[in-house]
Each structure stands twice: as C-alpha cells, then as structure tokens.
Structure 1
Amino acid sequence: MLDDFLTRAGLAGIGLTLATGPLGSFVNWRRMAYFGDATSHAAILGVALSFGFGISVYWGTMAVALGMALTVARLSGRGHAMDTILGVLAHSALAFGLVAASFISGLRVDLSAWLFGDILAVSRMDVGIVWGGAGLVLALLVWRWQALLTTTINEELAQASGLSPRREALVLTVALALTVAVAIKIVGALLIAAMLIIPPAAARAWARSPEQMAIVSSGIGALSVLGGLWASIVWDTPAGPSIVAVSTVLFVVSLPMRRRI
C-alpha cells in the first residue's frame, strides 16, 4: 500500500510539471508572477462554491480561476494599476472563499488541505485528471508556441506579423486556469504559484533557448516532486511544502552557475 500511494503521488506530481514547466516559463518571461498568485488564491473560492453547489472541485476551481483571470484582464485595460487590482482580487477571493465555506452546512472538509495540498491522498482518478489537464495545457502551448513567444518578445512585432497579443494573452489565461484547477489538490492554492515560478527561474541557468528552458523547467519540477516526496517520507514533513522547498534549494544551487555563465 505504501508503494501504491507513493506511486500515485509521484505520477500526479510529474504529470503536473509537464504543464508548469512551459507555462511557468511564460509566467517568468512576461513577469506574471503576481497574476499567477492571484489566480491560485481565487481557487479557494472555487473549492467552496463547488462544495456548495455539489459539483466537481476541478470544474468549480477552473471556472473561478478563469473568471478571475478575465476580470483582471478587463480591469487592467481601464487605467487601474495592475498590482493593485491583483492585490485586491487575490485576497478578496481567498477571504470570500473561506467565508463562503463557513456558511455551507455539514461541510466536513478541511480547507487547509486545499490551501497547502495533499499529494499523498490523490486517487487514481485524480492522477488521470492531472495528466489529462496537463496534456491539454501542453498541447495548447505547443500549438501556440511561436505566436506566444513572438508576442512575449515584442507586441508591435507580433501585430505586424498578423498576430493578436490579446488573443495570445487569452490562451495563457485559459492555460493558467486549467493548471490551477488540476494542481490545487496536489500542492494547494498557496503553493501553485511557487511551482509556476521557481523551477523556471532555476532553469534559466541551464537553458540556451526558450524551448530548452521549458524542458529543463519541467525536469527541475519533476526532480522537486520526487525530492519533496522523499523528504516528506523521511522527515515526516508536509508533502506540498516539501516539494516547493526542494525546488527552492535547486534554484539556490543554480545561482552560482548562472553567474558563471
């Protein structure tokens, strides 16, 4: 039984890194770290609404995360400061989610599991959902890779090439919402942004091209998952935070290499 739940946890975590590697690279290149953090915070509201309406947590989380991302995109075009919008919406969504959960009678779910994740409790169905969602995100990014890369480098060049920066931003928004939905049970709402930011930041030291950075980032993420699970078993630490802690150690190790390069 020990091997069974560890295998499920490892497969779920590695499947998630297939999406967080390339998607997190774009989050780093576009300086969207706070955007990803706000979207993941909103996931708790999705969890509460899912239990309230009796629907799948994955669907409820994705709907709220997508709504949050679209709201930010709409408000940012009306003269509001982006960091202010993200700060207000992120903490408001988290607070409303926790308040909404308190009004659901008979709710016997510990929301801390959704805040910090519980990768050791994933089921076989969860593993299938994670791999399916990560596969969709990866396919979407591969399909729009060159267009996304062009708009990231230079929006004016993208427009001159017939591309729509707004459309490509929407692609990233959908990909981010889907990733948050499938990741919330693994690393939790508060740690999703860390998995999107830290492995790609560590991969910068080893990459010579955008494609290499996306691949190396997924590799570092997978190594973080395996190392975090090992640390969790050996030292009896929370699995989700342990995964993020290992990825942070890998980032620190990459700093001297980046300076040398």
Structure 2
Amino acid sequence: MSAQTFAPSFAVHWRRFFGKRLTLVAGAGILAFFVFLAVAAPLIAPYDPISQVADARLQAPSLLHPFGTDNFGRDILSRVIWGTRIDLQIAVIGVIFPFLIGTIAGTVAGFFGGIVDIIFMRLIDIILAFPFLVLMLSIIAILGPGLGSFYIAMALVGWVSYARLVRAQILVLKNSDYAVAAVSLGYSRMRIMFRHLLPNAVAGSLVFVMSDAVLVLLNGAAISYLGLGVQPPLAEWGIMVAEGQAFVTTAWWITLFPGLSIVVLAFGFSLLGDALGDLLGVHE
C-alpha cells in the first residue's frame, strides 16, 4: 500500500474513532453531571424546593436566586436540582420494565415460532394500532394519576419495540451454526435461548434503551404537565413548565430552566445511545 493511499485511510479511521470517543465522553459526561445533581441535591440545593416565601414571588434571576423564583416564591434552582432525582428515575425505571418484558417476549416468540409467535405478533399489532401517547393516557386515566400508573402504562405499551427487535435477531440466530450445535449437544431450550442466543441478540435493544429513555423522559414530563404524573408540590421539570406557562411573558425563567434541563438530559441520552450504537456496530 502506498503512502498516499494509507494516509487518507488512516485519517478517516482516526476521525471516526475520535468522533465515537468524543460522543461517548460527551454523553456520559452529561449523564454523570445529572446523576451528581440527583445524589448531591440535599447538599448543593441552596433552598428548600417546596418552601414558599410570599415576599420573594416572581423574582428575576439574581445572586440570591440564580434561576429566579416562581409564583409561590420557591427557588427555581433548588427545584431544578431536586427535580433531577424524579426525572432521572422516570427515564431509568420507565425503560427497565419494557426492556425486560419485551426482551423475554421477543426471545420466546422468535425461538418457538408457530402459534406462540403468532399470538405475540397479533398482540403487538393490537397495541401498535393505537397512538402511543393516547394509549398511555387511557391506562393512566383508568389507574389514576401518579408515577406508579405511569410506570405501569410504560410497561404495558413500551415493550413491543423491544420484542420486535429481539424477535428479529432470534429468528436469524437460531439457525446459526452454534445454535444448531447447541441443539445437537442436547442443551435445554432455556439454556439455548437465554445463554447462547439472547446475549448475541440484545445489542440492538441495549442501544435502543438510550433512545427510548429520551422518549420516556419527554413522556414523563408531558404526563406531569397534563397533571397525570408527579403531583405538586413535588419538584419535577414537567410540573415546573406547566406552572410557569401562565407567566411565560412576564417571568420567563420559570419555564426556561426546567425546559432546558429536559433538553440537555435528553441530549445526553441521545449522544450516549449513538456512541454505543457505533461501538457495538449496530449502526454499521
């Protein structure tokens, strides 16, 4: 290979590698920052997030209140910091149960096929026939407002994407040489499914978890905005945006800082998911 040929090729691979690492570090750094805020909230929040001070209502950002105060005199910075705990919890728990349910369902459906696969796929078709958010709102309306209802709704609706991803991979992998060899050696179906096939089929789902965390975070904020999620006076970014809507022209800081926090945290999850997709070869 000539030097002229090697140099451009090396440069391209270096930029790709550097870009992956930079994206990974940036995404992990953003998430680490918010995790730090959530853990250290009692130590770094300057005020009680639910304490109301009538004399401090609707104060603009200042040295005393860097993010200003809301219509109840509560410090916005303290509420944003404490709200990190709830919104991170929403993003994490909101994807764990759909991931587990969908992964197991997709593995079983893809491995056994036949009537089992038909039942799972028809159930998925029924769920996908309804708009995602409408179906979630219907379930929450039946169960009642609150985070518990939100998590149940996410688990009942969100598992289908993971099931389809894993099922497609299992259908391919179960005909591979090592899967046929495992059957020939007399391994049990459970061992073949969960020890040999699933670890090789789950990479795409792990990447999708990061993208799904963005959707869950935005849905959680939207549900709280509509009054069906976290209930006042708890500090949660969606609630804060809803409370500041009436003052958006006169006290813009009430909605700006919690809304910006949602965007930045979602961006962190997106960066990390994109970097993991490149590193695991899912995007290639």
Q: Do they superpose with TM above 0.5?
A: no
TM-score by length of 2: 0.27
Tell me: higher relative CO, structure 1 or 2? Use CA pairs within 8 A at least 6 residues apart.
Answer: 1
TM-score by length of 1: 0.29
Q: Which has the larger radius of gyration?
A: 2
Bigger fraction of residues in helix: 1
